[in-house]
Amino acid sequence: MTEELKEIGLDVGHRRVGRLMRQNGISVIRTHKHKVTTDSDHKFSIAPNLLDRNFIADVPNQKWAGDISYVWTKEGWLYLAVILDLHSRRVIGWAVSNRMKRDLEIRALNMAIAFRAPPRGCIHHTDRGSQYCSHDYQKILRQHGFEVSMSGKGNCYDNAAVETFFKTIKAELIWRRSWETRRQAAIAIFEYINGFYNPRRRHSALGWKSPVAFERNVA
């Protein structure tokens, strides 16, 4: 909020912005019901944790990370799969579905590959869920020369960058309203990612730039 105000010419500090937000009842939203999305009880092969919680990437398409989350609607759950480029935290692939099947993650991955055409050797990090360990998903990774990395069992901190994205979208979008239909939620997610998060949302880790602006400056 402080950086946005400075950009339009208002000379304010974090403390003043915080005080004004409190006075006007503006606060961060955190919470809500939890649903397990990782099924690690399977017989697929598990990859080592190559990322090792190093979420810094010097250039685009050096490290990718993916995960699944969920949105409650009055029609039932809507599942969201994303792929982030860890260089800029930009969402480069995403997909939604009313079922948590492996085609959900594959669609997100295929979108990211089509958008970025990553070089061979790019690290692809996820949890060890059955969808990511499946033969179909791993076949695509091999075809494109990814180095496969997976979190430790039950350790969300190993994929903290994507977990942070999910916390952000839920606090800023999902938990702020009641969703009548899955389609309504899907459209809102699309608009949030492409209209706000990627091109406009500022990140302290990026020097208070948005993912798109950060990549543009590096280029």
pLDDT at position 156, please? 83
What order of strands is seen across the sheet that includes strand 147-150? 90-97, 76-85, 63-73, 123-126, 147-150
Which residue has tokens 């500022």? 202
pLDDT at position 18, please? 66
pLDDT at position 3, please? 54
pLDDT at position 1, please? 54
Q: How many angstroms separate the CA atoms of 97 and 103, rounded?
A: 9
Domain 63-218 top-level CATH class = alpha beta
Measured at the CA of 176, the angle between CA 173 and CA 180, to 5 degrees, comes to: 90
Residues of the chain with CATH 3.30.420.10: 63-218
pLDDT at position 155, please? 83
Contact 162, 66 (CB under 8 A): yes
pLDDT at position 27, please? 60
Which residues of the chain register pLDDT less than 70?
A: 1-14, 16-18, 20-23, 25-43, 219
Which run of H or E residues covers position 95?
strand 90-97
pLDDT at position 34, please? 47
